[in-house]
Structure 1
């Protein structure tokens, strides 16, 4: 349970897709002019990540990685289809994006029109593919953790685009210097927000750890110390004998 909670908060705040690794920036910048549009796209990204990451985890576990085909029989244990990872991951993502596009067009034509070309472009959104590739790189062990990672990564991206959309709506009425208007001030705000999100790292790293036990002296250090003590004793004996002889 603790592992699930840690992965959830870490994926949202510390390893945020936008602020930590700058994935999905094209949609993040283009569709963040209005909060309503940003909410729609963010919800679509959460859904696509929540579905594609677990599906791609199953593909990785039972088809792609080295020895994954052992369930077909011992003769398939040496097969390694990892070179197909990109093709199958992208095919899974494209299928889910098409499903989302059909659902949005059916139930919310206004949102479908406002998202425009960026809805089908979720299929080539690097944040979506990055979620599956990071899942593979993290070597996530269970389907539950894969689902957790997909949902939390989507929520992190959703919070990022929602925050910048709210700021951009308000900043229209601000007196921004002419050279910084538009993408200039947006990049600056994104950088500042990234610094703010990285500050959450202290919540899950370094807190509550026990102080390290004192390191014992090595054998070499003990030998050197004993040698120094012996030399000091010998020098005192010599000086004492010299005093008696005189």
Structure 2
């Protein structure tokens, strides 16, 4: 059976990038959960490498509401939009878990990219991933029902972080809050809770302590 996952995962973890040879030049910052790294439209003066943890990128509306865009994990970059002529951060960034970051002056990091084609390719690949996620997210918010967006997020989490029991069964091995999932898919916490409870009642999803298990990822993928 076909596994129907139609959009890119907003969780960019386990990124296959290598920044080791420039880590020594970065200023190490240890952050608790919910630490604001930078805000939307602030002057972009630094680039960050996520050494450990997870960071949520988000947009803020004029009336103060936030829309989560993606979560960046180990080896990801933050603030690279500062290379553009706008010279401001296009999003805000806040830690979604205790994190360790490496901070670089923006022009210093730009020099690393210009001197190393491999690093330039890594930056371009990550930028392309983010662009694709934004495009898919816009399409889903315009036309996709919230239930389907929640299911696709569960499938992405299983495929990215899942511990596979057998050919069809996955345990999602990271924890997340109902509000984090709601922010990422563009719906309310109540909708997320109700959808997850319904999936559990119908046997498409199981929960043991704080972890979710998908008994049959193919069946969930085809859930209408």
Q: TM-score, normalization: structure 1? A: 0.25
Structure whose residues are more often strand by fraction: 2
TM-score (norm 2): 0.27
